[in-house]
């Protein structure tokens, strides 16, 4: 059970970490405010692309009739990762956080682990960057994030469910960071108050509900200034967005050429010159914005 909760928390966190990078697409998406798109292939096949917010907040989990109807019309449903990861993907190669954190930091970790309903004995062996992503989120209300609810609805409709990334690709995305870099990231999050996290989340939520990439872009500086060294932040941007976008675009386009699919992916992956919207355009698809 804890593994499923951890997977959902981490997936939500990957989206929130990536969202601030939407400034890359500020110019390209200035006139494209929708996060729900119809994709018509050169052969006339119709698929759908839906930008998600990996949260259980009921403001995004009450799906419109248009979204549900689109799900009914496709053959397959695609989301970032379909399968829960093996525990080894989430764990430190060796040792425990007790070796690296102070007593005060461990107390904070214990408090956050309890809030996120993850056993402390598991948390102590988890990769620091994954904990940073998870602990920077508001308190979860349910284990059912928006994209996992969409997955459940697709399964109810007997649609094939496919991952855009393997569990290894998704949860190993930042494994190139050194342990010191990961600990730096975790310590930065531990210093943030719950009030700060909730305030940032609310601003992101408002931007998401408005379907406005420009609005999200304006948050970038305020949300990231002073949290991490610039060089580390740049490397994270490449790993979280640029490299993943290439893989997800290729796989989703390949499927959309073969049959109707519904693609649910963190909204940050839609925008910019390297985003999925641009990739589908370059692949010859006709894009039509829809109301989500």
pLDDT at site 7: 53
Strands 286-290 and 261-266 turn out to be unpaired
**Which pLDDT value is given to residue 257?**
97
- What are the pLDDT digits (tens) for 88-134? 889 998 899 999 999 999 999 999 999 988 999 999 999 999 999 88
pLDDT of residue 145: 84
Name the CA dihedral angle for 165, 248, 140, 217, rounded to a multiple of 10 degrees. 150
pLDDT above 80 for 217 = no
248-270 pLDDT tens trace = 999 999 999 999 999 999 888 88
The reported pLDDT for the residue numbered 187 is 95
pLDDT tens for 145-185 read 888 899 999 999 999 999 999 999 998 888 888 999 999 99
Spell out where the chain has E strands. 36-40, 46-52, 76-81, 160-165, 261-266, 286-290
Q: How confident is the model at residue 14 (pLDDT cuts 50, 70, 90)?
A: low
Share of the chain above pLDDT 90, in %: 51
In total, how many domains does the chain have? Answer: 1
Average pLDDT over residues 132-142: 81
Whole-number pLDDT of residue 24: 31
**Is residue 291 pLDDT above 60, yes or no?**
yes
Contact 54, 11 (CB under 8 A): yes
For residue 200, the enclosing domain spans: 2-290
pLDDT classification of 66: cutoffs 50, 70, 90: very high
pLDDT-above-70 percentage for the chain: 83
Mean pLDDT of 207-227: 62
Whether residue 135 is predicted with pLDDT greater than 60 in this model: the reply is yes
Output the pLDDT for position 4.
54
pLDDT for 10 equals 56
* Residues 264 and 50 sit within 8 Å (Cβ to Cβ): yes
For residue 37, what is the DSSP state?
Answer: E
Q: Which residues contact 259 (CB under 8 A, 6 or more apart)?
A: 45, 74, 75, 76
Mean pLDDT over residues 7-16, rounded?
50
Mean local confidence (pLDDT), 183-202: 91
């Amino acid at each position: 059970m804890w593994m499923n909760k951890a997977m959902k928390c981490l997936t939500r966190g990957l989206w929130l970490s990536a969202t601030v990078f939407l400034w890359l697409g500020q110019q390209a998406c200035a006139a494209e405010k929708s996060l729900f798109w119809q994709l018509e292939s050169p052969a006339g096949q119709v698929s759908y692309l839906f930008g998600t917010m990996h949260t259980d907040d009921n403001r995004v989990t009450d799906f419109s009739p248009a979204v549900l109807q689109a799900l009914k019309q496709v053959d397959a449903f695609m989301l970032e990762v379909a399968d829960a990861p093996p525990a080894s993907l989430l764990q430190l190669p060796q040792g425990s956080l007790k070796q690296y954190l102070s007593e005060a930091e461990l107390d904070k970790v214990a408090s956050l682990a309890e809030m996120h309903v993850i056993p402390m004995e598991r948390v102590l062996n988890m990769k620091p960057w994954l904990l940073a992503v998870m602990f920077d989120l508001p308190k979860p209300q349910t284990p059912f994030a928006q994209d996992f609810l969409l997955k459940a609805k697709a399964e109810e409709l007997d649609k094939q469910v496919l991952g855009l990334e393997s569990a290894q690709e998704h949860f190993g995305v930042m494994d190139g960071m050194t342990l010191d870099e990961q600990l730096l990231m975790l310590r930065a999050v531990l210093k943030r108050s719950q009030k700060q996290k909730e305030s940032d989340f609310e601003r992101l939520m408002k931007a998401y509900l408005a379907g406005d990439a420009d609005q999200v872009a304006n948050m970038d500086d305020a949300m990231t200034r002073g949290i991490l060294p610039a060089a580390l932040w740049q490397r994270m941007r490449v790993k979280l967005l640029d490299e993943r976008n290439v893989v997800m675009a290729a796989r989703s386009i390949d499927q959309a050429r073969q049959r109707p699919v519904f693609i649910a992916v963190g909204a940050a992956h839609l925008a910019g010159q390297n985003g999925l919207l641009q990739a589908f355009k370059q692949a010859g698809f006709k894009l039509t914005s829809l109301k989500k």
